[in-house]
Structure 1
Amino acid sequence: MRSASRLSERWFNLVLWVIALAFAVFLIGLGSLVVGDLPQVEQRYALDRFIDPVPAAASAEALKRLRREQEDVDRRAEQARLALEAARSASRAARETFENWLRTRDATQRVDQDPGLIARTEQLDRLKAGERAVEERLDDLNRSGLALADQEAAQQRVDQDLRAAAQEKLDAAERRQELRVFAYRLAVTLPLLALAGWLLVKRRHTRNWPFVWGFALAAAFAFFVELVPYLPSYGGYVQYGVGVVLTLILGRVAIDAFQAYQERQRAAEARPNEERRTGIATEQALQRLAKQVCPGCERPVNLANPAANFCPHCGIGLFEQCASCSHRKSTFERFCYACGAASQAEAEV
């Protein structure tokens, strides 16, 4: 049925579209919360859950023992270093005293000081022997520390191997969990998308069309925007595979739609002239004429030619003479803009 939009109708349509968009925005916000909170239905995994408890406990106990022994060796080594420093200080002090005593003996040339020389020499030997004993003890402690460090490093490698095996199990569990959560999201968004498609096909021309379009926009956003980032990757194979499948489906739909459009156009061009004109809305026909195309077949026409009253491609009538004032007017206009008389089709209605 032909119709021309009034200015108030355009404003009402604009308001209704605003309502549809607002409805879609609120639904999108609600859907984002639902989709974002779906992972909470699954428990979070921790690495300790996948570590074998028996070898892990043995490894932890061995590490504790080795670290305690290492701390004990470090403490004794520190004590030995302090003792060595004290022994070296005592040796230096005794040697300085001995050298001073030698200078005094050389100056006086007293023979009775020979027993003192022997005693002082023996004292210095004892101090050096003590110093060497402390050095040997410190060397033994350092070797023990190095051995314990090697044992601790080996035990840490065992612990790392256990954690690496547990990490593999954790990664596999998280991948399975990711697939389950994606299935939950798909189970929520896919029915909404199917319902939105059904509403668009069946209810988009009803009085509640703003809510239909708002729901459709929200469902499309939830499926194509909210769901796609959670699509499992597997190195990009899933995304590209889904892209190929969607492209094939959408391409097939577009090809079928184009063929159906061509069939409809051929069927429309086979109908009588007057019947074809009544099936085109006035506003749509005038917009196409303003673009220099035929309202029926959408092919270009030379509207500047005053004799071009019919489309040379499909034969639909484009212009006619007003029955009242004989002014040339469009066949899609309800009234003559020269005299205001109703067109023949309008008069018959």
Structure 2
Amino acid sequence: MSKALRLSEKWFHRGLWLVAMVFASFLVGLGGTVVSDLPKVEKRLSLDDYMDAAASGALRSAIKTAERAGQDADTALEQAQLKRRAAQADSAAARETFNNWLSTRRATQLVDQDPELVLRTKALDALKDRERAAGAAVEAQQQAALDARQTVVRERRKLNELEAAAQQQLQAEYRRVELRVFLYRLALTLPLLVIAGWLFVKKRKSTYWPFVWGFILFAVFAFFVELVPYLPSYGGYVRYVVGIVVTALVGRQAIVSLNRYLEKQKLAEQLPDAQRREELSYDTALTRLAKSVCPGCERPVDLKNTAIDFCPHCGIGLHDHCGRCSTRKSAFARFCHACGTGAGPAAAVSRP
């Protein structure tokens, strides 16, 4: 249609389309803000909401207590091991000294050293007892650390079982929340689509068409961007079923519209030539002629061929002659391009 418009009309038309796009962008921004806040309507869920608070609290407390006891046992174990190493070193040093002294006594064979032998033996036994006590302390701390670790493992296993059961319930609730949020989106976008469809059918050529098209673009964006990507999956069944239903509805409407259009074209081609040209919009006729198609049946026609004055497909007149200067001109032109005479009854076309 742009070739049939005046230059100023073209720029005004482009400006109005710009208005439509800007209007749609603001609507999209507002709609996106509203849609992004929809999930806030639902309560934020957590795993603790589906666990026994008393049982989980007791298990977590037991785990913390066992972990703390394990840490204390590890610290005490390090100290006990250090003491045992010191006792072992003292005992080894005392034994080496005793062995050296005993070798000297055997060499000298001095009987007066027997009391000292007894004393040294008792001292060595005391060191050995001290070493055994340090070893027992190490073993006790090792046992305490092992008990603490086993307690942590046992209590954590119980807590994991509770969390696994709660996780299943949480996932089920997530799916229900997802479905509810989708229904919120659907309740918001479906009326927009209905209104957009009504505006497209009734108001797309009205005086305020930029706002109409802006709203239509916004509704389409809301459907394909704010609704379709958030369709609940449930293994793909919902999306596939919805896709099949939408495709079937759109396809059926397309088939019905095509059949209506073809039937309308057949009925229009049976009307008299003059009536068919009168019913055609001037801008529509010029737009189709600019595309080298017949304005009546929209089939290709070689308009550059000067021998063709009628459409070979539907018979509508494409060219006639001026009633004043007899110049060949478009049958849809309002004025003769050679003399400027207005098209009227005098310019009627008679078929050869």
Per the alignment, residue 299 of structure 1 pairs with 299
Contact preservation (8 Å) 1:324, 1:341 = yes
Mean Cα displacement is larger for which, 137-146 or 62-71?
62-71
CA displacement at 1:325 relative to structure 2: 1.5
* Residue number in structure 2 paired with 1:309: 309
Over 3 Å counting, the alpha-carbon distance change for 1:345 and 1:34 in structure 2 is: farther
Q: Secondary structure at the match of 1:329?
A: strand
1:77 paired with 2:77, answer: yes
Return 5+ residue gaps in structure 2 as ranges.
none
Match of 1:198 in 2: 198
Letter in 2 for 1:30: L
After TM superposition, list the pairs within 5 Å mapping 1:1-349 onto structure 2: 4-102=4-102, 104-105=104-105, 110-344=110-344
SS in 1 for 2:54: helix
Contact 2:4 2:287 in 1 (8 A): no
Secondary structure, counterpart of 1:227 in structure 2: helix
Work out the CA distance in 1 between the residues paired with 2:272 and 2:4.
Answer: 23
In 1, distance between residues paired with 2:47 and 2:34? Answer: 28
Aligned mates of 2:141, 2:14 — CA distance in 1: 88
Give the conservation status (yes or no) of the 8 Å contact 1:63–1:155: yes
Shift of 1:159: 0.8
> Structure 2: which amino acid aligns with 1:314?
C
Segment drifting more, 61-70 vs 141-150: 61-70
* TM superposition score normalised by structure 1: 0.90
State the Cα distance separating 1:218 from its structure 2 match. 0.9
Counterpart amino acid of residue 127 in structure 2: L
Quote the Cα distance in structure 2 between the aligned partners of 1:162 and 1:287.
72
After superposition, give the CA deviation of every residue in 1:266-300 in whole Å (9 maximum; x if it has no partner).
01101110111122233433343343322211222
Deviations 1:253-278 (A, max 9, x none): 11011101101100110111011112
Distance, in Å, in 1 between the alignment partners of 2:306 and 2:202 is 44
Q: Which letter maps to 2:19? A: I
Unaligned runs of 5+ in 1: none
**Which deviates further from its counterpart, 314-323 or 228-237?**
228-237
Cα distance, 1:306 vs structure 2 = 2.6
Give the letter for the 1:255 counterpart. I
1:213 alignment partner AA: W
Q: 1:105 to 1:208 in 2, by over 3 A?
A: same
Change (3 A) 1:346 1:11: farther
The CA deviation string for residues 63-88 of structure 1, in whole angstroms up to 9 with x for no partner, is: 34433543453344334223212211
The verdict on how the C-alpha distance between 1:18 and 1:106 changes in structure 2, with shifts beyond 3 A counting, is same
One-letter amino acid matched to 2:185: R
What is the CA deviation profile of residues 141-173 of structure 1, one whole-angstrom value per residue up to 9, with x for unaligned ones? 313322332122011100111112122222222
More moved, 187-196 vs 65-74? 65-74
Amino acid at match of 2:128: K
Alpha carbons of 1:217 and 1:304: their partners in 2 closer, same or farther (altered >3 Å)? closer
Once the 2 structures are TM-superposed, how far is the Cα of residue 31 of structure 1 from its aligned partner?
A: 0.6
Measured in 1, the distance between the counterparts of 2:97 and 2:236 equals 84
What RMSD, in angstroms, separates the aligned Cα atoms of the two structures? 2.4
Distance in 2 between residues matched to 1:236 and 1:305, nearest whole Å: 57
- Provide the C-alpha distance between the structure 2 equivalents of 1:304 and 1:317, rounded to a whole number of angstroms: 15
Partners of 2:54 and 2:21 lie apart in 1 by: 60
- Summarize the Cα distance change of 1:34–1:122 in structure 2 as closer, same or farther, 3 Å threshold: same
Q: More displaced, 108-117 or 156-165?
A: 108-117
Percent identity for Structure 1 against Structure 2: 54
More off after superposition, 67-76 vs 30-39: 67-76
Question: Which secondary structure does the structure 2 equivalent of 1:320 belong to?
Answer: strand
1:4–1:281 Cα contact (<8 Å) kept: no
Counterpart CA distance in 2 for 1:262 and 1:246 is: 24
Letter of the aligned partner of 1:259 in structure 2? N
Aligned length: 346
Contact 1:84/1:134 (<8 A) preserved: yes
Cα displacement string for residues 112-163 of structure 1 (whole angstroms, at most 9, x for unaligned residues): 3344334323322331232123213322331332233212201110011111
CA distance in structure 1 between the aligned counterparts of 2:144 and 2:116, rounded to whole angstroms: 42
Distance 1:223 1:318 in 2: 44
| Matched-pair contact (CA < 8 Å) for 1:334–1:346 | no
Change (3 A) 1:148 1:7: same
* Structure 1 range deviating more: 236-245 or 96-105: 96-105
Quote the Cα distance in structure 2 between the aligned partners of 1:322 and 1:128: 136
Deviation readout 1:18-44 (Å, 9 max, x if unpaired): 111111111110111011111122221
Counterpart of 2:236, as a letter, is: G
